[in-house]
Amino acid sequence: MTLLTKLILPLVVFVGLVLLTSPAMTSEQAGEEILGLVVDQAGQPIVGALVGALDQSATGLKDAKTDGAGKFRVTGLSRGVVYRLVVTKYGYSQATLGDVKPSAQEVRVQLKRDEKVISRPASAPPPSPPPQPEPKTPDGEEVPFTLSVAVEEILLNVSVEDSVGRPIADLAKEDFSVFQDGVAQEIKYFGHENVPISVVLLMDSSGSMEGSPLVEAKVAALAFLNETRPHDAVSLVAFNDKVEVVRPFTTEMLKVRTGVHSLAPRGGTALYDAISKAVDLLEAAPHPRHVIVLLSDGKDEDSVAKFPAIDKKIQVSDAVLFSIGEYAELDRKLFMSGKKHYKLPELDVNLNPVWVLRYFADLSGGRAYFPKLGEPLEPFFSRIARELHQQYVVTYQPAGVTGKGPFHTIDVRVKNSRYPSLKVRTRKGYLDRNPRP
């Protein structure tokens, strides 16, 4: 064998090995996929629906959005693994498909319209003309909505429901009355549709969330993001024994979605510190409608801040807190009594976390949810998103109020002849930042 042959032969063998192995590596890296189509009840494609693929062992999550033809492709899946598909889209009821395996066969998903918002009764007068289209710039882009609130004005997010809990969405400014400390106030601004919000998505990433709880939380958070409006701004904050701003406020939900995917469980639980950070972030938020959506699975263990300080901070703030408390079986038995303290002695360290979440939500005008064991979290996040977009926004400038202390009570009343019984929810009041001596 010549020297040239000795040099060339190994090179040929090496190239052959590369050619043989490269396709297999590429195929393995690409993984399996699930293809599908999302349509409405009339069979028309739905654009922008969020499709999440959660493996049955709840250890992984992949997601995709439907394109202009209603088609989706969830890639990077594992061969032989069974997945649960969760499909969400604002204005539609969520659909879930179990036992779906990656294959070349297309999955068809049909979404039904969400009929929970009450329409005007047939006997009522004809609806008012539709609102004019939003103003556009010369190049055709929408002009961002802005709501200006004077420093001395109070902003209220008001939820109105009928006697069985269905939202009422067609009330007018004249139906509302606002009282501060028992004194009637003049409504300065009244709005309903298309009033953007600033939301802090506050996610518990402590070590106790490892496995199924955190994956389920990610699926639910992605469903919430899917229901945001174009001008809504979201900040993602994760907390364990430390608090981290994963994403500052942005209207680019893809950035927030990637942040949700990046969450990893570790450490303890600094719940009070996390709420404090969320309130601070909202002070400089893009829109004056301030909301905190909190998911946590346990009680505070590691915060520097204490309950009285957070209580005062929420009373001073105009933030509305919605919370979802997810607890293991033993903790549910311990906490779901609803008592202020889950064990004696009655010290702040023994405050019942279920009571704490309910208290903050009720005080701020939000709502607290406590899913049952094994219950999916997505419907709760979607319910919160829908409520936020169905709320009425009211501002007033306090007048004629002498004040009976640093805390001022707020009472919003709604009266409309078409609805005999209405339930109104907003914040209970506010604490003066700089109370008079």
**pLDDT tens by residue, 165-177:** 899 989 999 999 9
What value does the mean pLDDT take over residues 177-188?
A: 96
Sheet-wide strand order for 154-162: 187-191, 392-396, 154-162, 422-425
Pairwise CA distance, residues 226 & 48, whole Å: 8
Write down the pLDDT at residue 212: 81
CB of 178 within 8 A of CB of 156?
Answer: yes
Instruction: Choose among 89, 78, 84: nearest CA to 38.
Output: 89
Q: What average pLDDT does the structure give for the chain?
A: 83
What percent of the chain has pLDDT above 70? 81
Write down the pLDDT at residue 90: 63
**Amino acid symbol at 98:** G
What value does the mean pLDDT take over residues 3-19?
A: 41
CB half-sphere exposure, 231, CA atoms < 13 A: 18
Write down the pLDDT at residue 149: 62
Write down the pLDDT at residue 337: 87
What value does the mean pLDDT take over residues 323-336?
A: 89
What value does the mean pLDDT take over residues 322-337?
A: 90
Other C-beta atoms closer than 10 Å to the C-beta of 37 total 17
Residue 130 has pLDDT above 80, yes or no: no
Write down the pLDDT at residue 151: 56
Write down the pLDDT at residue 120: 34
Residue 76 has pLDDT above 60, yes or no: yes
Write down the pLDDT at residue 403: 62
Instruction: Choose among 407, 436, 427, 437: nearest CA to 155.
Output: 427
pLDDT band at 211 (very low <50, low <70, confident <90, very high): confident
Kindly report the CA angle at 137 between 136 and 142, in degrees rounded to 5? Answer: 45
**Amino acid symbol at 282:** L
What value does the mean pLDDT take over residues 271-279?
A: 98
pLDDT band at 437 (very low <50, low <70, confident <90, very high): low
End-to-end CA distance of the chain: 103
- Least trusted range by pLDDT, from 27-31, 72-76, 169-173: 27-31
Sheet-wide strand order for 429-431: 183-185, 176-180, 407-414, 429-431
- Least trusted range by pLDDT, from 91-100, 352-361, 403-412: 91-100
Pairwise CA distance, residues 46 & 40, whole Å: 6
Pairwise CA distance, residues 108 & 36, whole Å: 6
Kindly report the CA angle at 261 between 255 and 263, in degrees rounded to 5? Answer: 110
Residue 6 has pLDDT above 70, yes or no: no
Which two tokens mark 172?
């007018």
What value does the mean pLDDT take over residues 119-144?
A: 40
> How would you label 318-349 residue by residue, b for 16+ Cβ within 10 Å and e otherwise?
bbbbbbbbbbeeebeebbeeeeeebeeeeeee
CB half-sphere exposure, 423, CA atoms < 13 A: 9
CB of 413 within 8 A of CB of 407?
Answer: no
pLDDT band at 433 (very low <50, low <70, confident <90, very high): confident
Instruction: Choose among 36, 44, 30, 27: nearest CA to 83.
Output: 36
Write down the pLDDT at residue 423: 95
Can you say how many angstroms the Cα of residue 53 is from the centroid of all Cα atoms in its chain? 19
Question: Strand, helix or coil at 22?
Answer: helix
Residue 116 has pLDDT above 80, yes or no: no
Q: Which residues contact 173 (CB under 8 A, 6 or more apart)?
A: 187, 190
CB half-sphere exposure, 406, CA atoms < 13 A: 10
Angle (deg, nearest 10), helices 253-262 and 212-226: 180
> What confidence tens digit (pLDDT) does each residue in 313-322 have?
999 999 999 9
Radius of gyration (C-alpha) of the chain in whole angstroms: 26
Question: Strand, helix or coil at 280?
Answer: helix
> What confidence tens digit (pLDDT) does each residue in 332-368 have?
889 998 899 999 999 999 999 999 999 999 999 999 9
Write down the pLDDT at residue 147: 63
Q: Among the residues of 227-326, which ranges form H helices?
A: 253-262, 271-282, 307-316
